[in-house]
Amino acid sequence: MIVRMPANGIVPLVEREGLGGPYWLLSFRHGETAREARPGQFVMMKAGLSAEPPLRRPFSILAVDRQRETFTLFVKAIGQGSHALASLGCGEPAQCLGPLGRSFTPPPPGTEALLVGGGYGVAPFRFLGEDLGHGAGRARLFYGGRTAADLPLLDRLTGLGLTVVPATEDGSLGVHGRVVVPLEAHLDEAKRPVRLYACGPEAMMHAVARIALDRRLAAEVSLDPWMGCGIGTCLACVVRVQGPEDARPRYRCACTEGPVFDAARVVWPGEDASGARRAAEHDGRGAPP
């Protein structure tokens, strides 16, 4: 949950590193975000001080350095806003509002955290993996993409006490197949209780939500709809969510009530109720834990 108000500021780029193709690691100095951010939270960013493009863009926080008062973003330059950000030189300013949104819920003691990151959706999981500590085997990251070039962050995820399992759809790196293939294989073998966390393309998060529901596992997803303001005033980034108390799904802002949601409470495209509600109504199993 948000514990402090976000801070709005002009933040300089202090470090940039290309990871090949459209992928960049960009670090900005912003004491408030560096100090306060929790894994799963995001910042609203806009390169420079010019008017175009009009809106700031949301980016998951990849890492923070509290000593240096910096935070780092993993950016795929695919549109006007992300291109402008990736084109900044060191020392050049960006506009930043953060940290924003609801963070991931840490797993209970003795529970293995299974992180599922698709493409640049892996960004919040470096922060989460680091935060979960270095207990061996306590957290496992399934990192998927179409091809090896979609996993540019792979060698930056070592040394965190995180077991990383890459998967590519074309088999060029790691497990051959979608990222849920090694996830399901692991779940079939898992001896300990687990908790799932997913961030990536909507279809991938939907698939993880279905797996969690079928196996009655707790899961959180980090959703990524278009955002206008980041603080719940424009009401643009709504997603349909059905809480335990809701008779019908309701629109909730991903920026303030998310971006992290209980996967079983999300009403996915093409469905008319949350997974938890359908499970409860259709086979009387009740809501998942």
Partner 1 sequence: MNLAVEIAGLRFKNPLIAASGTFGYGVEYEGVLDLSVLGGLVSKGLYLEPREGAPPPRIVETPSGLLNAIGLQGVGIHAFVRDVLPRLVRYDTVVLVNVCGDTVDEYADVARVCDGVPGIAGLEINISCPNVKKGGLAFGGDPRMTHEVVAAVRSVTRLPVIPKLSPNVGDIAVFARAAEEAGADALSCINTLLGLSIDVEARRPRLGFGTGGLSGPAIRPVAVRMAWQAARAVRIPVIGIGGIASATDALEFLIAGCPAVQIGTANFVCPGIYARILADLQAYLERHGLEDIGAVVGTLEYPGLPRPCDREVCE
Distances (CA, A) of 51 to 55, 84, 96, 122: 9, 12, 15, 30
We find the least distance from the C-beta atom of residue 106 to partner 1, in angstroms, to be 25
Nearest to 235 by CA among 261, 214, 254: 254
Rank residues 6 and 39 by Cβ distance to partner 1 and give the closer one.
Answer: 6
Distances (CA, A) of 146 to 118, 149, 173, 179, 185: 9, 8, 10, 10, 19
Rank residues 16 and 76 by Cβ distance to partner 1 and give the closer one.
Answer: 76
We find the least distance from the C-beta atom of residue 191 to partner 1, in angstroms, to be 41
CA distance 69 to 228: 26
We find the least distance from the C-beta atom of residue 233 to partner 1, in angstroms, to be 3
We find the least distance from the C-beta atom of residue 229 to partner 1, in angstroms, to be 4
Nearest to 8 by CA among 87, 108, 94, 86: 94
CA distance 7 to 63: 18
Coil, strand or helix at 118: strand
Rank residues 77 and 236 by Cβ distance to partner 1 and give the closer one.
Answer: 236
Q: Report the DSSP pairing between strands 112-118 and 194-199.
A: parallel
The upper half-sphere exposure of residue 89, i.e. CA atoms within 13 Å in the direction of its Cβ, equals 0
We find the least distance from the C-beta atom of residue 53 to partner 1, in angstroms, to be 6
CA distance 56 to 230: 9
Rank residues 38 and 46 by Cβ distance to partner 1 and give the closer one.
Answer: 46
Q: Is the peptide bond before 289 cis (omega within 30 degrees of 0)?
A: no
Q: Which residues bind partner 1 (CB under 8 A)?
A: 5-8, 46, 51-56, 80, 95, 97, 225-226, 228-229, 231-239, 250-251, 256
Rank residues 52 and 189 by Cβ distance to partner 1 and give the closer one.
Answer: 52
We find the least distance from the C-beta atom of residue 174 to partner 1, in angstroms, to be 31
We find the least distance from the C-beta atom of residue 94 to partner 1, in angstroms, to be 12
Rank residues 41 and 72 by Cβ distance to partner 1 and give the closer one.
Answer: 41
Rank residues 53 and 201 by Cβ distance to partner 1 and give the closer one.
Answer: 53
CA distance 151 to 145: 6
